[in-house]
Amino acid sequence: MSFAKLDDHLRKIEALEHALAILGADEATHMAVGGGEKRAEAMSTLAGIHHARATAPEIADWIAAAEGEALNEEQQAALRELKRAYTNLTCLPAEFVERQMKARMRCEQLWRDLRAKNDWAGFLPALEGVVALVREEAALRAGVLGLDPYDALIEQYDPGNRAADIAPVFDALKTFLKDFVPQALAVQEERLAKAPRRPLAGPYAIDRQRELGLAMMGAIGFDFTHGSLSVSHHPFCGGVPTDVRITTRYKTSDFLSALMGVLHETGHALYEQNLPKQWSHWPLGKARGMAMHESQSLFVEKQIGRNPAFWQWALPQLAQHLGEQWTMAEILPHVHHVERGLIRVDADEVTYPLHVILRFELERELVGGKLAAADLPEAWDAGMRDYLDLSTIDNPADGPMQDVHWPAGLFGYFPSYTLGAMMAAQQWAALKKENPSADDDLAAGRFEAIADWRRKNIWSQASRYSTPELLERATGEKLNAAHFTAHLKARYGA
């Protein structure tokens, strides 16, 4: 049977994906600096082999034949998703994939070194090479998929979403936030005038911060028999579902920065660890796009991790692992602190979407050829001045060099962050409607019912449905940004 042939072939492809994922995680966390060039060569070669196997012409024949076989509903869904994934994969020749992988890895390696030196001039040639390849990729994909070039890139991360649909939503949110940020800051200032914020004492030993993060990961549901926590330049979740590698970065002056990074990446990891194992080698068994993935990480970081009820349980954890006693009145001004800042990953949930909207607008112009990589510092500075009243003109390290995404060639990914925040707020609202005691559960350190709802409605469904269908099935309605703005008003308004 052709379906059986596909099943066997996909298991071999999964093995290559496993190797690439673990090599990539190791490269970002443990590889010696001198190993970079050979690691890039090895991974580009493996990526070429993987691409050749995943785009083999016989797969198209097997798909066509399998469509005529007697398949159950789950197998039919698996075949539909494989056909969609195969069409997207066959847009690119193996030679291009190898060339792009090598350029991306070398650019990312340079970024790690040159960002610390604030060396935009040294970094620019490598970034220009990546942008040129991204434009080439976008054109190749657009020709096959019949999409706008930038939409063809978004399709790789969040199938079904289109820039023309995202832009007006982001424009409306931007308008709301440009008014709401000053309001939230004014409310915060008024509260702090009545009760000044207790400073973070520090220094906080990294090993103690790590212990705190591990304790919270385990409580929320992370399976340490299938994952681990490391350190990297930029927090990420990598590896494979049976061996999830998450990372954070530590500041000895601020334990909340690393902890929130851990909670965010744990949200990603829980999604991966709870995907249906029997379909792990099929596209059906993968996570349903990056907006949904970001909704899972932001659900843990924002809806749980910044929920006052969570901190009723978490305060004794701080005392145990950091040796400091905090009250709710003392910790919440830190957890809910709003501040215009330069760094996206350190941004609060009020200002964070403005960082994402800026990147969405810039990369849309980069891919479309309306903006050159060399002009990014000026364009970035203009956006930051408009949205957050901050300047980065002489500080590219905290401007267009701050994220790993563009050096790694991940264009079309950024919209997922804010779409995910909206979806997370909507999921929390639906969960609370079904389980009114969710806040009480958090306060008592009971995370099982919350995880069960997410497992049933999101994790176990994998890629069976499109993102809009999956969200509507889980929450009972289509994407509704009102849940997100209501959440911000309730937590940060007067």
Distance CA 229, CA 227 (A): 7
- The alpha carbon torsion through 4, 9, 10, 12 (nearest 10 deg) reads 140
Distance CA 308, CA 438 (A): 12
| Cα maximum dimension of the chain | 73
Query: Which listed residue (81, 108, 137, 265) is catalytic?
Result: 265
Is 50 known as a binding-site position?
no
Distance CA 77, CA 92 (A): 25
User: Torsions phi, psi of 271, nearest 5?
Assistant: -60, -50
Q: Is 228 helix (H, G, I), strand (E, B) or coil?
A: strand
Distance CA 441, CA 297 (A): 19
Ramachandran region, residue 75 (left: φ > 0; alpha: ψ -120 to 50; beta: rest): alpha
Q: How many CA atoms, within 13 angstroms, populate the side-chain half-sphere of residue 472?
A: 7
Residue 229: enclosing H or E segment and its boundaries? strand 227-231
Distance CA 203, CA 148 (A): 50
Tokens standing for 40?
């890039």
Tokens standing for 383?
């956006």
Burial class (CB in 10 A: 0-12, 13-18, 19+), 441: middle
Report the Cα 289 to chain-centroid distance in Å.
Answer: 10
Is 281 known as a binding-site position?
no
> What is the crossing angle of helices 448-457 and 415-434, to 10°?
120
Report the Cα 155 to chain-centroid distance in Å.
Answer: 15
State which amino acid sits at residue 450: I
Q: CB–CB of 154/412 below 8 Å?
A: yes
> What is the crossing angle of helices 2-29 and 73-89, to 10°?
60
Among this protein's residues, is 14 annotated catalytic?
no
Q: CB–CB of 424/303 below 8 Å?
A: yes
Distance CA 57, CA 93 (A): 12
Residue 244: enclosing H or E segment and its boundaries? strand 243-248
Show the 3-state SS of 468-492.
HHHHHHHHCCCCCCHHHHHHHHHHH
> What is the crossing angle of helices 352-367 and 149-157, to 10°?
130
Distance CA 134, CA 361 (A): 16
Tokens standing for 423?
């979806």
Is 51 known as a binding-site position?
no
Positions marked catalytic: 265
Binding residue positions for Zn(2+): 264, 268, 294
